[in-house]
Amino acid sequence: MASRDLPAFTHESEAAYNQDAAQVLGAWCLDRANLSPSGSTQIEPCDIARLREDGTLELIHVKIGTASTTLSHAFNQGANSAVLLRDSEPQAALLSLLNTTDEISAAVAEALKARKVLVTFAIVTHRPEERRSANLPLFSQISLDRQIRTLSRADIDARFVFIPDLTNKSGVPRKDLKAKLNG
């Protein structure tokens, strides 16, 4: 499925996209942040986090391209970080990373407590969105299915979306595609 609320990719890097998309969404960019329990290796909570209007905390994991190694890692990371957020130490780390008002922190804490969490795997691709999961290598399709099932067993909703890549194969924004999308 395509994401109608995430902006198209016209950036030079995933990090630049995450910053811009977070700003557009009124969300937090948590790219390269860490919520792992002390003594553990770093675990990024997500690339972008937002509190949706219905009170759900959405954890968006953005990945450019459809290479199975990078996608499978992203799917594993998304499931692992969401499951970790069921524990108090990672929850406290997340609230600290958000650095927000008491009211927003309370709403995020309530979403975590009530397990109103949505994990979104957002895949930036040049491939047509109509082909859905056929756009993914078989290994990644299996990994995605496995992680969505893992999340479902943990009472965590998950989805995957495609973000249109409006750059050429060299990563330069294509003005013709950008104008078409905005027109």
Residue 179 predicted with pLDDT over 70: no
pLDDT at res. 59: 97
pLDDT in tens, 25-74: 999 999 988 887 777 788 899 999 999 999 999 999 999 988 888 999 99
For residue 170, pLDDT over 80 is answered with no
For the record, the structure tokens of 128 come out as 């047509």
pLDDT at 173: 58
The answer to whether residue 147 scores a pLDDT higher than 70 is: yes
pLDDT at 174: 53
Q: In terms of DSSP bridges, do strands 157-164 and 57-64 run parallel, antiparallel, or are they unpaired?
A: unpaired
Question: In the chain, which ranges are E strands?
Answer: 28-29, 48-51, 57-64, 117-125, 157-164
Give the per-residue pLDDT at 99.
84
Choose among 93, 122, 121, 120: nearest CA to 109: 93
Domains in the chain: boundaries: 14-182
Q: Which long-range contacts (CB under 8 A, 24 or more apart) does 105-112 make?
A: 107/51, 107/55, 108/51, 108/57, 110/55, 111/51, 111/55, 111/56, 111/57, 112/57, 112/85, 112/86
* pLDDT of amino acid 67: 86
Residue pLDDT, tens place only, 91-135 = 999 999 998 889 999 999 999 999 999 999 999 988 776 666 677
Residue 108 CA to residue 50 CA, distance in Å, equals 9
Q: 1 falls in which pLDDT band (50, 70, 90)?
A: very low
The whole-model pTM stands at 0.87
- Nearest-angstrom CA–CA distance, 101 and 120: 25
Per-residue confidence (pLDDT) for residue 10, from 0 to 100: 93
Per-residue pLDDT at 171: 56
Residue 3 CB neighbours (<10 A): 19
